[in-house]
Structure 1
Amino acid sequence: MFSFSNEEIAVFLDELDEKIQILDENILLLEREGENPVVMQEIFRAAHTIKGSSGVMGFEKMANLTHEMENLFDELRQGRMGVSDFLIDLLFETLDTLRLLRDEVVGEVSEVAETEGIITKLRDIRTGNAANMEETEKLNEPRINEEHGDANSLQLEEDEYYNKIHLEDVDEITVREAELKGFRTYQLFVQLDYDTQMKSVRAYLIFETLQKIGDIIKCDPEVEKIQEGEFENDFQIILITREDVDSLRNVLLSIAEVREVKVKPLVLPAEEEVELVVEEHKARLEENSKTDSAEKEKKGIQTVRVDVQKLDNLMNLVGELVIDRTRLDKFAEIFETKYGSDALVEVISEISNHLGQVTGDLQEEIMKARMLPVAHVFNRFPRMVRDVAHKLGKEVDFIVEGHETELDRNVIEIIGDPLIHLIRNAVDHGLETSEERIRLGKPVQGKLILKASYQESQILITVEDDGRGMDPNVIRQKSIEKDILDYDTANRMSERDILNLSFMAGFSTADAVSDLSGRGVGLDVVRTQIENINGMVELSSTPGKGTKFTIKLPLTLAIIRTLMVALDRQVYAFPLTNVVETLSLGQEEIKLIRNTEVIIVRGDILPLLRLDVFFQASNTPENKIYVVVLGVGSRRIGVAVDRLLGEQEIVIKSLGSYLGQVRGLSGAAILGDGQLALIIDVRGLVKELSSEDLV
C-alpha cells in the first residue's frame, strides 16, 4: 500500500489512456449532440475514475484537475449549465493538460504542466451561473488540511471526525462494486495513547492488521506522513471488509497503545449516482459470472503485459517446431519404406500428426496475441479532424468504420503517421469551405470517411473525401512547369500515372503551403512507409467530386503469403502483395530495346530481369520461360524464373548481422523440408529496373 511497483504504475497508465480516450470521444459527441444525458454520464464516470485512481497513486495535480472537471459535469447533469462552444474548447484544453500530466508520469515531457490556470477557468465557468452561487460556494469549500496539524482536533464533535475525509475523495466506483459483492465500507477513527513513543510503528501494526481482514482505500493523513510519524495521535481510514462494526473495534483495541476506536458505516449520497455506478458494473459482474465468482476474486487480473519481442521469439520457436515436425514426417516415411507398416511406424506417424496439429494451433494463438484492433490508431483522429476543421473554419462530418479490424501491432505502430498525412491533407486541401460548397450545390458539411476492412489475406484502409478532387490536367501542367516531365512525355501519360506524380518527393499543386501541409506534401512519406511494410497505396480522384486513397497492408509482418519460384535447386519467394500476374513466354517473345530485354504485356512495355543473371546462379535454358510480373505503385517489371512452385505462407527471418544487407534480398524463410527460401526485395528490384522519372 505504501509504494507502487512498475507493474502497478503500468496498469494505472493503461487505465488512464483508456479513460482519456473515452473523454476525447464523448466530448466530441457532446459538441455534436448537446446535453445528451448518456454522454454526460460517460464523461462524468471517466473523470471520476481518473480522479480516484490518480489520488490513490499520489498524483495530486491530476486528481485536482479531474475533480474540478467532475464538478463541472455534475452541474451539466443537473441541468444548471448548458453546452456551449466555449465550454467544449475549455474541455479540450483540460484534456490536453491531462495528457501533459500523463506524460509527466512517464517522463516524456520537457516542461512541467501547470494546472492552476485551467482549474481556475473550469471553476469560473461553473460559478458563472448566479442563480446557483450558494451551491457553488458549497462545492468550492476549502478542503481540511490533510497534515492533521490542529492541536484541538481531539476535541472535535464525533460527526466532525468523519467529515475530515470528504466523501468526494473516496473512489465511489470501488465502494459500489464492493457493495455489490457483499462487502461493507467503514470510516474508522483511530486514536493512540498520548504518550506513544513510536507512533509510526504502532500505525504500521494497525495497517497490517486491517489489511488481513480488508482493503484500505483511503487514509488521512496520507500514508507517507503516517509512515514518517508526521501526525498527532489520531488518523482516519476508509476500509472495505466483510467484518462488522464490533469485530473491527475489538480487533483494533487489542493492539497495544490504541486508546480509542470509532467505527461508522460509510454512506454515499445521491441515489442517481448509485444507479449510474450499479449499471456500469452490472455488465462487468455478469461477465465475471461465467466462472465461479469466488475463484475470480482470488485470481484478480486476467491479463498480463508481454513484451512483443517475446512473442516474436515464440513465433520463431514455433517455426523451428514446424521444421522438426516435417523432418519427423520424412523419417516416418523412410522407416515405413524400410521396415513396412508395423506398430512402431504407426506410433511415429501418430506422434507426427499430433505434433503438427499442436504447432498449427500454437502458431495461430501467437498470431492472435500479436494482433490489435485498428481502433488503437483510429481513435486519435476524430479530435485531430475537429481541431483542424475548427482552425480552418470548415464543417466536417468525419465517419470512421471498421474499428474492430485487427492488425499485427508492428503494422499498427507504422501506419499512424501515413494516415495523419492523408487525413490532414483531406481536411486542409481536399474539402472546400462552407461557402464554396454552398456555391457548388454541395452539402455544407464536407464528408471524410476513414474505413478499415479485410480483403483475403490483406487489410484495406481507405481515406475518402467528397471535396474538390485532384485535376490531372493541373498536375500535368505543374509537372511541366517544374521540369519534372517534358511536354511530350507528360501528354503521353495516362491520368492514373499523372495522379501518381503526387507521390513524388516535394511535388505539390498547392499555391501556398500552410502549416497543415498541402495536398501532395508528405505523400512521398506515405508511400515510402507503406511500401516498407510490404504494403501498397493507390490514389483515385475525380475533379469536383473527391479523392480516395486506398492502402493495402499485410495482416502481419511476421508471416507473409508468397509466390514460391525456383532457379535450378534454389527456392525464392516473392511477397504476394507485389505479384501482379504470372506468364509463360517463348524466347522469341523477348525483345531488345537499347540492349535491355523487355516484354510486351497487353500493350505495355515492361523491362525484364533474369533472376539467374542477377544472382549469378546457374540454370538450364528452356524454350519456355516463366515470368513473374511484379508491381510497386504504378511501376511494373517482369522477372524470369525456371519454375513456379505455387503459393505458400512463410515465417520471415532476418538475414542477420553476419550477412547484412544483400542486394535483391529482404530476408529468408525455412521451409517444411528444412530447405532455405530467399525472400526477394521487390521494391529494390523495381527501383533498379524502372526509372523514377518515368513513373
Structure 2
Amino acid sequence: MSELDMSQYLGIFLDEAEEQLQQLDEAIVKLEQSPDDIELLNTIFRAAHTLKGSSASMGFNRLATLTHRMENVLDLLRQGKMAVNREIIDVLLASLDRLRLLKDGLAAGSGESGEIDDVVARLESVLAPQKAAGDAAEKGGGHNLTLDDIEENVIRAAQVKGFNPYEIQVRLEQGCQMKGARAYLVFNNLKDVGEIIKSIPHTQDLEAERFDDTFTLVLVSREDADTLANIVKSISEIQEVVVRPIRLAEDMEKTTRKAPAAGGGEGPISQAEGRGGENRITQTVRVDVQRLENLMNLVGELVIDRTRLAEVGNGLKARLGSEELLETLEEVSMHIGRITSDLQEEIMKARMFPIDQVFNRFPRMVRDLARKAGKEIDFIVEGRETELDRTVIEEIGDPLIHLLRNAIDHGIEDPAERLKAGKPRRGTVRLRAFHQENQIVITVEDDGAGMDPEKIKAKAVEKGLISREAAARLHPREALDLIFQPGFSTADKVTDVSGRGVGMDIVRAHLEKINGTIDIRTTPGKGTCFTIKLPLTLAINRSLLVQNGGQVYAFPLANVIEIISITPAEIQYVHRQQVVVVRGRVLPLVYLGHALGQARELPPGESYAVVIVGLAEKQIGFIVENLIGEQEIVIKSLGNFIGKIPGIAGATIMGDGSVALILDVRSLIDGLGVEANRELAS
C-alpha cells in the first residue's frame, strides 16, 4: 500500500479503532462483574477480532499480533475452557492499554511506538495451561471445532451462493518427515474446489510444523463430501481423512436473515427494508466537526435575520396598514421562520451525542482507583442514552473525573470501616444523567461518609482560606462551598487518587465555562450527592430579555425561577441588605444597575419588576426597569479584544440590529458578595 493510500485510510482506521478500544474497555470491566455472561464475552471477542482484522489489513503488525493473542484468551473463555478471574481481567486490561498506546502513536505520526513483548508474554502465560492440555488432546486425536460469529456469517453468505460448509480432519502417517509440506499440499489441492476459512492449528503453526500429526480445516465448496475426501487422499503420507458437513444453529440463521453478510445477494429482507420496515438499518456518515460548527454559525445568522424580518414586516404593517404586498411579505416571513426553525432543530440534533461517549470511560477508571485505594465499590451508571451538544460533552469529562475520584477517595470508606458502621462491605457510587426541561442534569452520588461542614470550616481556617470569625458566621450550606476554593482539601495525606489540594476548584471553573451549576447535598455518615445542571447547547439559548439604563440584557432562562412585581413600600432592610418577603421567605434584592456598576440608587417608580434567579439553593431578586419578554437568542463571544467582563457572559444581536448583553448570573452574585443563604431567609 502506498503512503498516499495509507494516509487516505488512516483516519478511518483510527476512528474505528478508538470505537473498538472503548467498547473493549467498558465490556472487559463489566465481564469482571458478570463472568458468566456469554453474550458479553461474544461482544468482546467480536470487537477484538474486528480490530485484529483491520490492523492486519493496514499493515500494523504489532496491533494485529497483540489483538490476536487477546483473541486466543477470549476464545478459550467463550468455550468454557478457562474461567474469568482477576488475573485474566488484569492482563486483558493491560493489553488494552498497550493497544491504545500503539494507536496513539499512529495518530501522532510516530508509527507503532511501544513494545508488546512483555504483554504478549503475560497473555501466553495465561494460555500456557490450556495449551499444554490442548497438546495432550491432539496426541489423543481429534479437535473440538468452534466457530465465532464472523466465521458463521461467512459460511451463511457462502451458503446463499450455493456453497456447502465442511469440517475436514486430516491425520498424517506416523513418522511423516515433512508435515508442513503435506499440510501445504492439502491446502493447495483444496483451494481449487473451494475456500478454506479456518485452520486448527493456525496456518503459521502448520507451516512451522508446530503440531503432532492431525489438523482440521473448515472449507466451503460446491463439491460433495466424498469428492473432497478423495482429493485429500490422493496426497501421499495421509493416513486418514474425515469429512463432515457443518450444521449451524437455527438462531444464527435468523440473525443472518436480518443482517445478510456482504455479497450475500438480494432477498426478501432487503425488499422489506426498502419499503421502510421496522428493521431498516440506520445509515450513518462521518462528518468533520468543523463543518457542523460552520453550519451552526450559519443557522445562528438565519435565526437573527428571521427575527429582524419579522420585526420589519410588523413595522411596515403598522405604517402602511393591510396591503396585498405586505400580506405576501408576512406570509413569506412566516414560511422562512418555520423553515429556519426546522433547520435549526435538525442541525442541533446533528450536534447532539449520547453522553455515553463520556460515561463509558469511567467504569475502568473507577475499578483501577478502587483497587489502588483498597476499597470495594459497585459503580452504577444510568442515563447513558441522554444526549447533549458536543461542545458540552467536550467540557464535562474533567469535572466528572474529579467528582468520581473525590467519591472514591474521600467518600467511600474502607471495607472494615463500613462494616464497623453497619454498612455493606461494598460501597456504591452512582452516576446518573437525565433531561430536565431545557437542561441536562448529572448526579454523582455515593453512600460513603458524607461531609461534615464543621470539619470543612476548620480545614479552611487552618489553610488560611478564611478567617475564624468569617467561618463562624457561615451557614452549613455555605461551608460546603468552601471545598471549591483553590488549594482546599480535607485529605489527611496525599495519595495517587486525591488530596493534593486541586480538583474541586477545577470542577467549578469548567462548569462555569459552559454556563453550568453545581450543588451539594450531604449527610454525615450517609453519603454525598453532587448535582450538575448544564445547558443542552452553548450556541442557541432561550433567555429573558430586560431593559435597564437604555440597554437590553438577557438572563439565561436556566437561571430564572420567576418574575414578580413589588412596590417601594414592600422593600425592607436586613443587615443593611435590601430584601422582600415572598411567600413567607426573605429574598435579597439587588438593583441590576448597581450590580453592573451603573447606578446605586433605584429610579423612582410606583412598582418594580423583580427577576428572581437561582444558583443551587441561593435565590436573589434583580430589580430591572423594564421587562421585554422571552426570546431565543444566538450566543456570541465578546472576543479577545474586549476580553472577559465581570457579570457578562457574551452578547447577541437583536431583531432591530442592536446588541444585547448576556448576563453571567454567578459572576454578578459573586461580585456583590450578597449573603443569599438560609440564614438570611430564616
Same fold by TM (over 0.5)? yes
What is the distance in 1 between the residues matched to 2:109 and 2:333? 51
> What is residue 391 of structure 2 aligned with on the other side?
410
Q: How does 1:333-412 map to 2 (within 5 A)?
A: 333=314, 341=322, 343-412=324-393
- Note if contact 1:611-1:640 (Cα within 8 Å) is conserved in structure 2: no
> What is residue 559 of structure 2 aligned with on the other side?
578
State the one-letter code of the partner of 1:570: Q
Picking from 583, 599, 608, the partner of 2:579 is 599
User: Using a 3 Å threshold, how does the CA distance of structure 1 residues 290 and 415 change in structure 2: closer, same or farther?
Assistant: farther
What is the distance in 1 between the residues matched to 2:356 and 2:418? 31
Picking from 298, 301, 305, the partner of 1:317 is 298
Question: Secondary structure of 1:614's partner?
Answer: coil
Aligned-residue Cα RMSD (Å) equals: 4.2
What is the distance in 2 between the residues matched to 1:609 and 1:396? 48
What is the distance in 2 between the residues matched to 1:14 and 1:120? 28
Q: How does 1:161-560 map to 2 (within 5 A)?
A: 172=151, 175=154, 179=158, 182=161, 283-285=258-260, 291-292=273-274, 302-333=283-314, 341=322, 343-518=324-499, 521-560=502-541
What is the distance in 1 between the residues matched to 2:427 and 2:468? 36
- Note if contact 1:395-1:434 (Cα within 8 Å) is conserved in structure 2: yes
What is the distance in 1 between the residues matched to 2:429 and 2:246? 42
- Note if contact 2:153-2:256 (Cα within 8 Å) is conserved in structure 1: no
What is the distance in 2 between the residues matched to 1:470 and 1:423? 15
Residues 235-259 of structure 1: per-residue CA shift (max 9 Å, x gap): xxxxxxxxx99xxxxxxxxxxxxxx
Distance apart, 1:514 and its partner CA: 1.3
- Note if contact 1:30-1:40 (Cα within 8 Å) is conserved in structure 2: yes
User: Using a 3 Å threshold, how does the CA distance of structure 1 residues 513 and 612 change in structure 2: closer, same or farther?
Assistant: closer
Distance apart, 1:435 and its partner CA: 1.5
What is the distance in 2 between the residues matched to 1:318 and 1:489? 50
> What is residue 125 of structure 1 aligned with on the other side?
126
> What is residue 81 of structure 2 aligned with on the other side?
80
Question: Secondary structure of 2:5's partner?
Answer: coil
Residues 377-422 of structure 1: per-residue CA shift (max 9 Å, x gap): 0000011111111122221111000000001111111110110011
> What is residue 207 of structure 1 aligned with on the other side?
none
What is the distance in 2 between the residues matched to 1:380 and 1:472? 32
- Note if contact 1:606-1:637 (Cα within 8 Å) is conserved in structure 2: yes
What is the distance in 1 between the residues matched to 2:269 and 2:499? 49
Question: Secondary structure of 2:531's partner?
Answer: strand
State the one-letter code of the partner of 2:496: D
Picking from 643, 650, 657, the partner of 1:667 is 650
Q: Judge which range, 516-525 or 60-69, deviates more.
A: 516-525
> What is residue 30 of structure 1 aligned with on the other side?
31
Q: How does 1:108-147 map to 2 (within 5 A)?
A: 112-129=113-130, 130-134=132-136
State the one-letter code of the partner of 1:131: A
User: Using a 3 Å threshold, how does the CA distance of structure 1 residues 305 and 272 change in structure 2: closer, same or farther?
Assistant: same
- Note if contact 1:636-1:686 (Cα within 8 Å) is conserved in structure 2: no
> What is residue 249 of structure 1 aligned with on the other side?
none
Question: Secondary structure of 2:558's partner?
Answer: helix
Picking from 666, 669, 675, the partner of 1:686 is 669
> What is residue 5 of structure 2 aligned with on the other side?
4
Segments of 5+ residues of structure 2 without an aligned counterpart are 141-145, 166-196, 198-221, 224-242, 261-267, 276-280
Question: Secondary structure of 1:128's partner?
Answer: helix
- Note if contact 1:539-1:547 (Cα within 8 Å) is conserved in structure 2: yes
Distance apart, 1:46 and its partner CA: 1.1
User: Using a 3 Å threshold, how does the CA distance of structure 1 residues 344 and 638 change in structure 2: closer, same or farther?
Assistant: closer
State the one-letter code of the partner of 1:626: A
State the one-letter code of the partner of 1:13: L
Distance apart, 1:468 and its partner CA: 1.1
State the one-letter code of the partner of 1:622: G
Distance apart, 1:106 and its partner CA: 0.3
> What is residue 202 of structure 2 aligned with on the other side?
none
- Note if contact 2:551-2:660 (Cα within 8 Å) is conserved in structure 1: yes
Distance apart, 1:464 and its partner CA: 0.4
Residues 431-472 of structure 1: per-residue CA shift (max 9 Å, x gap): 112222222221121111000011111111000011111122
What is the distance in 2 between the residues matched to 1:527 and 1:181? 59
Distance apart, 1:615 and its partner CA: 4.3
State the one-letter code of the partner of 1:133: D
State the one-letter code of the partner of 2:133: A
> What is residue 633 of structure 2 aligned with on the other side?
650
User: Using a 3 Å threshold, how does the CA distance of structure 1 residues 337 and 78 change in structure 2: closer, same or farther?
Assistant: closer
- Note if contact 1:570-1:677 (Cα within 8 Å) is conserved in structure 2: yes
> What is residue 22 of structure 2 aligned with on the other side?
21
- Note if contact 1:52-1:171 (Cα within 8 Å) is conserved in structure 2: no
What is the distance in 1 between the residues matched to 2:413 and 2:633? 46
State the one-letter code of the partner of 1:48: H
State the one-letter code of the partner of 1:42: T
User: Using a 3 Å threshold, how does the CA distance of structure 1 residues 318 and 604 change in structure 2: closer, same or farther?
Assistant: closer
Residues 626-652 of structure 1: per-residue CA shift (max 9 Å, x gap): 333445566665533211223322110
Picking from 567, 576, 587, the partner of 2:548 is 567
User: Using a 3 Å threshold, how does the CA distance of structure 1 residues 473 and 100 change in structure 2: closer, same or farther?
Assistant: same
Distance apart, 1:559 and its partner CA: 1.5
User: Using a 3 Å threshold, how does the CA distance of structure 1 residues 78 and 362 change in structure 2: closer, same or farther?
Assistant: same
Q: Tell me if 1:627 matches 2:610.
A: yes
User: Using a 3 Å threshold, how does the CA distance of structure 1 residues 35 and 169 change in structure 2: closer, same or farther?
Assistant: closer
Residues 547-583 of structure 1: per-residue CA shift (max 9 Å, x gap): 1000011111111222211125431101223335544
What is the distance in 2 between the residues matched to 1:304 and 1:522? 38
> What is residue 92 of structure 2 aligned with on the other side?
91
State the one-letter code of the partner of 2:653: I
State the one-letter code of the partner of 1:682: V
